[in-house]
Chains A and B, each alone.
Chain A
Amino acid sequence: QKEVEQNSGPLSVPEGAIASLNCTYSDRVSQSFFWYRQYSGKSPELIMSIYSNGDKEDGRFTAQLNKASQYVSLLIRDSQPSDSATYLCAVNRSNYKLTFGKGTLLTVNP
């Protein structure tokens, strides 16, 4: 089983819709969870961090964490064409290292 798994997509949503991105991880000792956005040809940009079970909201973004199910998700409300990018899920175990999923390509259609 891969350490961090994401659907590779592409996920296509219409402008204004909710985009839902999912990630599962295998190591139960994982403590911190991150979502990075990566535009084509650019480096990853941290957009959300979550550490506790439940929801964390920041603007149009909501991260959800369920440690019992080893599942973390990212919801993007009112999706915009500028949200079109690859979204990388990253997991931090008890050390400082991040393990990344392969990313989900999101396309928001005008």
Chain B
Amino acid sequence: SAVISQKPSRDICQRGTSLTIQCQVDSQVTMMFWYRQQPGQSLTLIATANQGSEATYESGFVIDKFPISRPNLTFSTLTVSNLSPEDSSIYLCSVDSGGAYNEQFFGPGTRLTVL
């Protein structure tokens, strides 16, 4: 499986600021995904990021709050804008294996705390 890294691994931010999270993959992948995992909860898909096209957002998530870039086949960023304490979560990127059954592999995650 691909090796996935995320930066930063954790951050503490002030209300009203923004945080940009980077996701780097060691091989080219078509589909990358961004998830949120709130404390004690399961994973919720924020958006799908495909290279060369706009990200596709899930219900309840909007581009103004979670802008995503996908400049090439190995890299993506997620920005969480206008932070509030409710945004305190773990943010995870994942990649599709490219196989017939769409297995996904996750990066190590970014733990965000908003004060």
Seen from chain A, the residues whose Cβ lies within 8 Å of a Cβ on chain B are: 31-32, 34, 36, 42-46, 49, 51, 88, 90, 92, 96-103
CB-based nearest A residue for B30: A96
Closest 10 CB pairs of A and B: A32-B101, A43-B106, A102-B42, A43-B109, A100-B43, A100-B42, A96-B102, A92-B102, A44-B106, A43-B108
Question: Which residues of chain A have C-beta atoms less than 8 A from B109's C-beta?
Answer: 42-43
Contact A46 B43 (CB under 8 A): no
Question: Which residues of chain A have C-beta atoms less than 8 A from B92's C-beta?
Answer: 43-44
Seen from chain B, the residues whose Cβ lies within 8 Å of a Cβ on chain A are: 1, 31, 33, 41-45, 48, 90, 92, 96, 101-109
Question: Which residues of chain A have C-beta atoms less than 8 A from B90's C-beta?
Answer: 43
Q: From DSSP, what is the main secondary structure of chain B's interface residues? A: strand
Contact B43 A44 (CB under 8 A): yes
B67 → A minimal CB distance (Å): 20
The residue that B103 contacts in the complex, of A34, A99, A102, A103, with Cβ under 8 A, is: A34
CB-based nearest B residue for A98: B104
Known: A43-B108, A100-B43. 9 other contacts (CB 8 A): A32-B102, A43-B106, A49-B103, A88-B43, A90-B104, A98-B43, A98-B45, A98-B104, A102-B42
11 sampled A-B residue pairs with Cβ under 8 A? A31-B101, A32-B101, A43-B90, A44-B92, A44-B106, A49-B101, A88-B42, A98-B43, A98-B45, A101-B42, A102-B42
A42 and B41 contact, Cβ closer than 8 Å, known pairs A96-B31, A97-B48:
no
The residue that B41 contacts in the complex, of A36, A90, A97, A102, with Cβ under 8 A, is: A102
The residue that B101 contacts in the complex, of A45, A92, A101, A103, with Cβ under 8 A, is: A92
